[in-house]
Amino acid sequence: MTDTTEGLDWIKVADADQLPEGRVMTVTARTTSICLSHFDGQWAAMDNRCPHQGGPLGEGSIEKGVEGQCWIRCPWHGWDFDPLTGAPPGGHEDTGQELFPVKLEDGEVFVGLAPEPPHTRSVTDVMAETFSAWGIKAVFGMVGHSNLGLADAIRRQTADGTMRYIGIRHEGAAAFAASGYGKLTGRPAACLTIAGPGATNLITGLWDAKVDRAPVLALTGQVQTQVFGPGAFQDIDLLAAFAPVAEFSQPVLTTSNHAELASLACKSAIIERDVAHLVFPDDVQTVPSDAPAQSPEGRLARPVVTPAESELARAREMIAEAKRPFIVIGHGAVESMDKVMALVEALKAPAVTTFKGKGLIPDSHPYAAGVLGRSGTPIASWFMNECDLILTLGSSFSNHTGIEPSKPIIQVDFDRAQLGKFHPVALPIWGEIGAFCDAVQEGLTRPTDAEDQAAEIADRWRIWRAEKESRLTDDAGKGLGAAAVFKALTELCPEDAVIAVDVGNNTYSFGRYFETKGQRVLMSGYLGSIGFALPAAIGAWAATQEEPDYAGRKVISISGDGGFGQYAMEFTTAVKYGMNITHILLNNGQLGKITKEQRAGEFPVWQTDLVNPSFATFARLCGGHGVKVTEADKIHEAMAEALAHDGPALVEIMTDMELI
């Protein structure tokens, strides 16, 4: 009920029976926090914020003095105020507390406020508007005491429909979600935290983004500027803490050019494909500003670096001399796959991907030869061993991939630092992958006896698929085998799905057994962080809501029990926002990969066993779909049901760590 008697807006704040005699409580009228008191048959309302340190008076108490005078006592440091006048007893505050008129009607309590003034635009409004203009469409984070002004500016953007905010349960998940979003789309999302521990909780996920070249915008609250340095609550040097991980890291001050600072942060994240970080002191966030927001118009150009003609000529010569070329496609080629595939088909050569690049070429393609390396297939390694030239496109030569250095290698990358990084190559070429693939084909000749390797690739697939089928019935009585899990997922997974995978035995098995049809795969590549999968899936889901290229795609995450346990409560985040995410959980009751590493190093197996709840029951208790599978012939049905569920779903499959 709202009444404008005497020019005031009368706003209901409570039912009278909610507040007994002799008690106080905090109520909210619009956005004004008020201490409501009930004593000696009277009702009173005053500003809830104690002028000392902002203590919430409504969480305090009413105490009577020796002469029967009532005082509202602050719960933090005991400052007292007269509930009827707002004045303190000893005059330690000249003005006292602001009071608000109160009235009771039909058992309801109303407080009168002046008509709400128009919103005063702040520096964080300017910056949030600039973030939106630069294409920041998703923010993952946790609202708290040192980011409230910034959070309100983001709230206004969400109300306008230009941003989506997802409140997570742990800031580490926010960083991984933003990293997953950046890896999938090539565009940054933001993660929001308070000062101190909220900010430091971001760092692991930000390192994941940094080393895998994913753009992310980190927005951290900070204590007020006047208490920087001397050790105030949650005051740490955030610029120093973030210096190693952030390519761009700056404080937001009252004297900053706020729109320009926001633009530079976004631009740095986009063009450097790195982490940009802004620190927002609490007192700066609500400083009024009428400055205009900025946009990226006229500030970005898409770099298309065409390799030098001399290098292209040499590449053509080397390819022309090769009878059995072999192509390795890394994640760096993700934006140029149409041009890459045109070159693959022109050379009629086997094309493999690194594990980070899994899915860039469907395994059904006649020249696809799977994944190379520890998480790969024997098909890929066989063709590498038999080739006479390796052409790598956007690959960083991870030791997990194991590209054979003794072979003649042409390496193409748009990052000059990656060229010959670990060992010399025959021909390093700096250029954008698509530009190289187009240019190198101009005038390219092939030996008359060069082989079309498609038939040989098909033979190798037949051998490997027969081997996989033979593993389906493996049973040592300790759980199901990974081959059966990923056969079912291969059959059921939508061709345009986005799949976020974790680390561990489950991930090695995914790389080995799952056959892609063009799905996008996200992983914690160079950092290899356990717990990545579910938060990254949350980021990918947000991208399906905000990015037209990914609209409607199914999101799947895959982990072991160790990885899921890292951020298990983020399943409730998926429930809260109705995220259509299916999580496949391979539960073997231990950190299986570490167990294997201890054995390989001839150490005793120690402290790798885990105590787990029923994760399927946990999923149902959270409000999602959950099913537990203990029999091989039930995997397909359980997985199909979960994938069809419109919302968060979890399939818990009891597996044997030896059957990977």
CA atoms within 13 A on the CB side of 23: 9
Give the residue from 184, 530, 215, 551 showing the smallest Cα distance to 356.
184
Separation between Cα atoms, residue 463 and residue 378, nearest integer Å: 9
pLDDT: is 66 or 150 the higher one? 150
Q: β-pairing, 351-353 with 368-371?
A: parallel
Q: What are phi and psi of 444, to 5 degrees?
A: -75, 135
Q: Quick one: CA torsion of 328, 332, 333, 335, rounded to 10 degrees?
A: 160
Count other C-beta atoms under 10 Å from residue 321's C-beta: 15
- Please write the tens of the pLDDT for every residue from 572-621: 999 999 999 999 999 999 999 999 999 999 999 999 999 999 999 999 99
pLDDT digits (tens, 9 = 90+) for 555-566: 999 999 999 999
Note the pLDDT of residue 582.
98
Determine the pLDDT at residue 399. 80
Q: In Å, what is the CA distance from 562 to each residue of 289, 454, 531, 592, 624?
A: 48, 40, 8, 9, 20
pLDDT tens, 311-353? Answer: 999 999 999 999 999 999 999 999 999 999 999 999 999 999 9
**Complete DSSP assignment for 358-401:** TTSS-TTSTTEEEE-STTS-HHHHHHHHH-SEEEEES----TTT
For residue 427, the model assigns a pLDDT of: 97
Residue type, 50: C
Q: Categorize the per-residue pLDDT at 520 as very low, low, confident or very high, splitting at 50, 70 and 90.
A: very high
Per-residue CA distances from 67 to 39, 63, 64, 70, 71 (Å)? 15, 11, 8, 9, 11
Return the H-helix or E-strand segment holding 178.
helix 171-185
Q: Which CATH superfamily hosts domain 123-281?
A: Thiamin diphosphate (ThDP)-binding fold, Pyr/PP domains (3.40.50.970)
Q: Are 75 and 49 in contact (CB under 8 A)?
A: no
Asked whether the domain spanning 309-456 has the same topology as the one spanning 123-281, the reply is yes
The structural domains of the chain, with segments of one domain joined by +, span 2-113, 123-281, 309-456, 472-654
C-alpha dihedral sign at 179, 184, 190, 192: negative
Q: Which residues pair with 140 in a beta bridge?
A: 166, 191
DSSP state of 426: S
Does 49 have pLDDT greater than 90?
Answer: yes
Furthest C-alpha separation in the chain: 110
Give the class (CATH, top level) of 472-654. alpha beta
- pLDDT band at residue 230 under the 50/70/90 scheme: low
Is the pLDDT at 195 greater than 70? The verdict is yes
Mean pLDDT, rounded, for 50-75: 90
The pLDDT of residue 563: 97
Please tell me the predicted confidence (pLDDT) of residue 615.
Answer: 98
Does residue 225 register a pLDDT over 90? Answer: no
Q: Where are the beta strands (DSSP E) in 426-527?
A: 427-430, 498-501, 520-522
Confidence of residue 436 (pLDDT cuts 50, 70, 90): very high
Fold classification of 2-113 is: Rieske Iron-sulfur Protein (2.102.10)
Residues 498-510: pLDDT tens digits? 999 999 999 999 9
Read off φ and ψ for residue 477, nearest 5 degrees. Answer: 75, 15
- Residue 275: is its pLDDT beyond 90? yes
Q: What is the DSSP letter of 438?
A: H
Q: Which residue has the higher pLDDT, 496 or 64?
A: 496
pLDDT of residue 102: 96
Tokens representing 373 are: 């390396």
The one-letter amino acid code at 54 reads G
pLDDT at 5: 61
Q: What is the mean pLDDT of the chain?
A: 94
- Whether 228 shows a pLDDT value over 80: the answer reads no
pLDDT score, position 181: 98
pLDDT at 93: 53
Q: For domain 309-456, which CATH number applies: 3.40.50.1220, 3.30.565.10, 3.90.25.10, 3.90.550.10?
A: 3.40.50.1220
In the chain, what percentage of residues exceed pLDDT 90?
87
pLDDT number for residue 91? 58
The confidence score (pLDDT) of residue 153 equals 98
**pLDDT reading at 517 higher than 70:** yes
pLDDT score recorded for residue 276? 98
Confidence of residue 92 (pLDDT cuts 50, 70, 90): low
Q: Which of 489, 534, 188, 469 is nearest to 359 (CA)?
A: 489
383 Cβ neighbours under 8 A, 6+ residues apart: 326, 350, 352, 369, 453, 457, 460
Average pLDDT over residues 398-425: 91
Q: How far is CA 318 from CA 313, 397, 410, 444, in A?
A: 9, 20, 8, 10
% of the chain residues with pLDDT over 70: 97
